[in-house]
Homo-oligomer: A and B are copies of this chain.
Amino acid sequence: MADFDLDRLKFDEKGLIPAIVVDAKTKQVLTLAYMDRQSLEISLEKKLTCFWSRSRQKLWLKGETSGNFQHIVSITSDCDDDALVIEVNPDGPACHTGSFSCFTHEVFGS
């Protein structure tokens, strides 16, 4: 683990930071989820993504029910330290619909 001080991170007024989950091999964006400090600490400890579920208002270890865990390869924060990119090796689809990525609705395509 890098000597990164988690106190540097800026959690929003709800105590959350957005986490962009990316496939480590293809770099495809899989999902945008949110972490509170506790779920980030669990993620760092387990090397598995854990989020704060805004809809269910509880901690959510990704894969806990589906088996589709996301094994963390790296975590990077941005220039403002208010967003994260998390590279993972996923055990299965990221999306509850069964899609590999949550991003499937074409809004605009060239």
Q: Are B79 and A97 in contact (CB under 8 A)?
A: yes
Specify which chain B residues have a CB less than 8 angstroms from the CB of A74 in the assembled complex. Answer: 106, 108-110
Docked CA distance A22–B105 (Å): 16
21 contacts between A and B (CB under 8 A): A2-B108, A4-B105, A9-B107, A18-B18, A18-B32, A22-B29, A26-B27, A31-B78, A32-B83, A44-B108, A75-B106, A77-B105, A78-B104, A78-B105, A79-B97, A79-B102, A79-B104, A79-B105, A80-B102, A83-B102, A83-B103
Specify which chain B residues have a CB less than 8 angstroms from the CB of A104 in the assembled complex. Answer: 76, 78-79
In the complex, what's the smallest C-beta–C-beta distance from A23 to chain B, in angstroms? 9
Instruction: State whether A84 and B107 are in contact (beta carbons under 8 Å apart), knowing that A18-B18, A78-B102, A79-B102 are contacts in the complex.
Output: yes
Interface residues on chain A, number (Cβ under 8 Å): 42
> Interface 1/0s, chain A 67-101, versus B by CB < 8 A?
00000111111111101110000000001110100
